Amino acid sequence: MSLINKKLSRRRFLGMSSCTLATAVVGSQVKVLHALAKNGDVTTPQRGKDDDVFTSCGMCVNKCGVIARVRNGVIEKLDPNPNFIKSRAMLCARGNAGVGVVYDPDRLKYPLIRTGKRGEGKFRRAGWKEALDLVAKKMNEVAEKYTRAGVMFASTEGTYQDHFFMQLAECFGSPNNVRHPTLCLSSNIQGFMATFGTNPTPDVLNADYIIMSGANRSEALITPDSIDMLKGDGGRRKLIYLDPRFTKTAAKADQWYPIKAGTDLAFVLAMINVIVNEGLYNRTFVKENCVGFDKLVPHVRSYTPEWAERECEIPAADIRRIAREFALAAPKAIYYHGRRSSFMANDTQLRRGIAILNAIIGNWDVKGGMVPNSRIKIGRHDYLAPWYDDVPDRLDAGSVAYLSENDGAWVPFRDRVLAGKPYPVKGMMVYKQNVLASVPDRARSLKMMDQMDFICTIDITMSDTAWYSDVVLPEATYLERQDPLESIGGILPVVVWRQPCIKAMFESKPNIWIMKEIAKRLGNEVAEQFQFTIEEVIQTQVKGQPQILKALQTQGVYYEKTDPTYGRTLGKRLRTKSGKVEIYSEKYAKKGLDPLPVYEAPKTTPAGKYRLLVGRHAFFTHGTTSNNPYLNAIMPENTLWLNTEEARRRGLQNGMRVTVRSEVGAQTLKLEVTDKIRPDCVYMAHGFGVLSKGLRTVYGKGGCDAALIGSSYDKISGNAALHETFVQIERA
Amino acid sequence: MKLISKTIAILAVAAFLATPVLGAEGGNPKKGKYLYKKNCKTCHVAGAEGGALTPLSKTQSQWDRFFKKNKHKAKPEIWGKYSEKDLKDINQFLFDHAADSDQPETCG
């Protein structure tokens, strides 16, 4: 169990993200439950025997191992699973607060049908049969009028039951799934795939030298990176961090540079320039494994550290020193490429630059370098989606250079819905994706929803998107469901699942049940593909591998090794066209894209305005957890960060309310005057300023970043660009 | 009125379908996926006669070679069961999702 020993002390881990309340937040849920019971909103809890249930967290993307302590039929506490190697046997504040999801008085309890205008919040309680009949009827009506492509399907990930939602979309016959990647990592994946043929995982634990550009790992938690980042191997670790903000990652770094926003590629290209010019690259690796290095040399000639200093405002001498240190530490050196979303519209080219920089020092597939993911093979639940002759291609086909047919590209997709071209989309099925909080330019997303004939949202709380829906269906929470297995790739791959810790409360149902019931109503052809139970799905997944099921039941996680395997791909063909690392991308050249990353300076900030920065927070997951009573207690609202000197110049004081205005919207929130940000930027955390009055804890608090961010996106991957917006601020 | 709007919608869709969205072989990859899953997967799964086979089993050029030259040599009689259009569609699907295809990995 070598990696289990790599965990931090609990105090240090929680301290890292300032989650000092993490263990104190649980424990009072029984009171909440009893209060609900008293109000008649909930039946008496199921009295079962005491139980400790292995399951996996559903609070964010990490899917960490959890043990639910169930006492008298109530989940009293969630503990980390000591066997869960991916999270180094840790559980964060959000994971702890999962109990608050189940016993949240605001959770959806039964199906609802809208009675007032959209967004007015008037719903009536409906039975499942009536609600499901209505959903199927409306889906069929839209299909009849506009073809099946007229219904779009927006899905979250990580519930493990999202696969059934995607199956419904495909079997219904709509090509228009829209998932989160273009609000997330599609540019990152694109840039690395174009270079290495896959998107690897940085071996943070074993790297001696790490450079992070805006990936705020101490607050935007990713396991195991957030934990490993602090640990290092033998204390040799050096962490260089670039961010216009002094984040908690900056606090943990050896050196922090308040880089000018949007100029990271200048820094990267200048590092390449130094490494190439001074001959510090790995000649053997480049010669044997890469194509296009000869074209890189003249390409970076003008990208000198002195040039970069003028762009990114990091001293040339420091760039030169960091480049040398980085090359010296190779191959146990990584320029950390993710995870963080796209900030600028040329983000794919930034990721390409980072990939190339990693490649030339030869850190590919070695200890402490960039390691291609391993994955444990499990059986696949398969189906045969019916074929419909009249269904066109995706609505957003051709909108970006590389479109994922399963994920789409959110911003151009929405633009085309609004334009009604090339065809109308008038039905919207949503599975736990909070479109209004997540997609930039909320006003346009509202317009898109306005023009829909029908909207159905499946969720566990009344998200903003649910609030604007016609039918709202309550899903059982992740602690109440049996979910299928999920194989999570990585340096140390694992298989996880979820078991129900308690019986689903109220009238909530697992998504598999909801999908089957809708399918049943859509006709025989669709219904035929939904003739399975969750148990059958799991049996298919573990077919021939009974040890997986046994491990999940007895230790909550399945894995085959606890020490990484390096070098699996060395000497073998990579999944690129040339089979090698593509420094120069022939396929980009053929598409008319820059085959080597070309720097584009960010737009100059207009006088009197600031660049709006947004970010994740250790207490919250995107737009989904700010209403959690335990988490909200730690941080009740977001604020607008403004540099101290700038605030003084403008006569603005800490704590006053300010209105932030961009070209697409305005929000009012509290000002936080701080030295932790450059004077040319302002910052706000994501997940506040909600529209839904069904989120009673957070409603009316803070401002919504999605209401301010414009619709700029990366034309190669389709990733929304989150830092291309300028705002002005004034006293509210 | 309803009929008119439906006709317009169908025409719009037909016009869209006519746009050149298809790749190397000019097949319809979505139809190809359906045909592949319906027909090929009966033999090509782990433990069955044809053994496991997915689009990722070959590169784009290997798939093209298979459809142009090999033509299912292991069991040639199968080839005759499909129209030229069907084979093009299947080829297109496999090409579009081959090991070295441009279809990006997903996240989450």
> In this predicted structure, what is the pLDDT of residue B47?
80
Nearest to A382 by CA among A493, A531, A513, A159: A531
Please give the residue of chain A at the shortest CA–CA distance from B98: A575
Among candidates A335, A317, A314, A334, which has minimal Cα distance to A257?
A: A314
Q: Is the dihedral of CA A472, A477, A478, A482 positive or negative?
A: negative
* Alpha-carbon span A239 to A234, nearest angstrom: 14
Angstrom distance (rounded) from CA A534 to CA A556: 18
In contact, A259 and A343? CB cutoff 8 Å: no
Verify that A365 and A217 share a domain, yes or no. yes
The two tokens of residue A521 are 């109503």
Nearest CA in chain A to B93: A405
Contact call for residues A712 and A724 (beta carbons, < 8 A): yes
List C-alpha distances in Å: A417 to A392, A426, A445: 14, 8, 10
Helix axes B84-96, B29-39, angle to 10 degrees: 100
C-beta atoms of B108 and A587 within 8 A? no
Task: State whether A217 and A334 are in the same domain.
Answer: yes
| pLDDT for residue A458 | 98
pLDDT of residue B52: 86
Q: Residue B100 — pLDDT band, cuts 50, 70, 90?
A: confident
What pLDDT, in 10s, does the model give residues A400-434?
A: 999 999 999 999 999 999 999 999 999 999 999 99
Provide the pLDDT confidence category of residue A2 given band limits of 50, 70 and 90: very low
The answer to whether the CB atoms of B17 and A575 lie below 8 A apart is no
Q: For B28, which residue in chain A has the nearest alpha carbon?
A: A393
Q: What pLDDT score was predicted for residue A37? A: 40
With H, G, I as helix, E, B as strand and everything else as coil, classify residue A217: coil
Angle at A430 between CA A428 and CA A433, to 5 degrees: 135
Q: How far off is chain B from A254, nearest CA to CA, in Å?
A: 30
Residues spanned by the domain of A269: 201-371
Which run of H or of E encompasses B48? Answer: none
Q: Give A12's pLDDT tier (boundaries 50, 70, 90).
A: low
Q: Check whether residue A343 and residue A222 sit in a common domain.
A: yes
Nearest to A423 among B12, B104, B105 (CB): B12
* Structural domains of chain A, count: 3
d(CA A630, CA A505): 20
Closest CB to A147 among B9, B38, B107: B9
Nearest-CA neighbor of A354 among A366, A318, A342?
A342
pLDDT tens per residue, range A357-370: 999 999 999 999 99
Whether residues B105 and A199 touch (CB distance < 8 A) is answered with: yes
Contacts of A157 in chain B (CB under 8 A): 107-108
Judged against a pLDDT cut of 70, whether residue A21 lies above it is answered with no
Residues A586, A71: Cα–Cα separation, whole Å? 61
pLDDT of residue A5: 53
Q: Report pLDDT for A6.
A: 54
Nearest one of A402, A302, A356, A362 to A584, comparing CA atoms: A356
Chain B residues 9-28 with CB within 8 Å of chain A: 9-10, 12-13, 15-17, 19, 21
Q: Is residue A280 part of a domain?
A: yes
- Which pLDDT value is given to residue A234? 60
Phi/psi of residue A374, nearest 5 degrees: -100, 160
The alpha-carbon gap from B98 to the nearest alpha carbon of chain A, in Å, equals 9
* ipTM surpasses cut 0.90: no
Parallel, antiparallel, or unpaired: how do β-strands A427-431 and A209-213 relate?
unpaired
Of A454 and B69, the structure prediction assigns the larger pLDDT to A454
Round to whole Å and give the CA distance between A392 and A174. Answer: 9
Six-digit token string for A651: 């006569």
Res. A588: pLDDT tops 80: yes
Q: Among A102, A137, A167, where does a domain finish?
A: A102
The b/e string for A177-212 (b: 16+ C-beta within 10 A; e otherwise) is: bbbbbbbbbbbbbbbbbbbbbbbbbbbbbbbbbbbb
Of B13, B34, B103, Cβ closest to residue A385: B34
Which residues from A are below 8 Å from B103, CB to CB? 404-405
A489: number of Cβ within 10 Å: 16
Q: Are A166 and A153 in contact (CB under 8 A)?
A: yes
Average pLDDT, integer, range A133-142: 98
Nearest residue in chain A measured CA to CA from B99? A575
- Structure-block tokens of residue A5: 């020993």
CB pairs under 8 A between A and B: 86
Please tell me the predicted confidence (pLDDT) of residue A41: 47
User: Do residue A224 and residue A350 come from a single domain?
Assistant: yes
Strand A581-582 to A290-291 pairing: parallel
Phi–psi pair at A102, nearest 5 degrees: -70, -45
Q: pLDDT class for A232, splitting at 50, 70, 90? A: low
Task: Kindly state the average pLDDT of the residues B69-81.
Answer: 89
Residue contact B99–A575, C-beta within 8 A: yes
Q: Which helix (H) or strand (E) holds B85?
A: helix B84-96
> What is the average pLDDT value for chain A, to the nearest integer?
92
Q: Between chains, do B16 and A145 touch, taking CB under 8 Å as contact?
A: no
Q: A178 forms bridges with which residues in the sheet?
A: A154
Please indicate, yes or no, if residue A259 is contained in any of the structural domains. Answer: yes
* CB atoms A422 and B12 under 8 Å: yes
Domains of chain B: 2-96 (1.10.760)
Flag whether pLDDT at A220 surpasses 70. yes
Whether A513 maps to a domain, the answer reads no
Indicate whether A24 pLDDT > 80. no
Residues A354 and A221 in one domain: yes
**C-alpha dihedral sign at A341, A346, A348, A352:** negative
CA–CA gap between residue A145 and residue A418 (Å, rounded): 18
Tell me whether residue A714 is in a domain: yes
CATH of the domain at A282: 3.40.228.10
Q: Are A214 and A89 part of one and the same domain?
A: no
> Which of A349, A371, A393 is where one domain is finished?
A371
Nearest CB to A392; choose among B17, B107, B108: B17
Retrieve residue B82's tokens. 């499909």
Q: What is the mean pLDDT of residues A500-526?
A: 97
User: Measured between CB atoms, does B103 come within 8 Å of chain A?
Assistant: yes
Domain boundary (A75, A102, A129) is at A102
Q: What is the pLDDT of residues B24-53, one digit of tens each?
A: 457 899 999 999 999 998 899 888 888 888
| Rg, chain B, Cα only | 17
Q: Cβ contacts (< 8 Å) between B30 and chain A: which residues?
A: 175, 391, 393
Q: Does B85 touch chain A (CB under 8 A)?
A: no
Q: In A207-314, at which residue ranges do the beta strands (DSSP E only) sit?
A: 209-213, 238-242, 255-257, 290-291
Q: What is the 3-state secondary structure (H, E, C) of A289-353?
A: HEECHHHHHHHCCCCCHHHHHHHHCCCHHHHHHHHHHHHHHCCCEEEECCCCCCCCCCHHHHHHH
Note whether residue A591 is domain-resident. no
A390 contacts B10? CB cut-off 8 A: yes
Q: Reply yes or no: is the peptide bond before residue A422 cis, omega within 30 of 0.
A: yes
The nearest CA of chain A is from the CA of B31 a distance in Å of 7
Average pLDDT, chain B: 78
A90/A214 same-domain check: no
Domain assignment present for A38: yes
Confidence of residue A23 (pLDDT cuts 50, 70, 90): very low
Q: Do B106 and A587 touch (CB under 8 A)?
A: no
Which CATH number is A60's domain given? Answer: 2.20.25.90
Nearest to A614 by CA among A640, A653, A635, A632: A640
Look at residue A588 and tell me if it is in a domain. Answer: no
Residue A350 included in any domain = yes
Regarding whether A227 and A336 lie in a shared domain, the answer is: yes
Q: What is the largest CA-CA distance in chain B?
A: 56
- The answer to whether the CB atoms of B107 and A185 lie below 8 A apart is yes
For chain B, report the end-to-end CA distance as a whole number of angstroms: 45
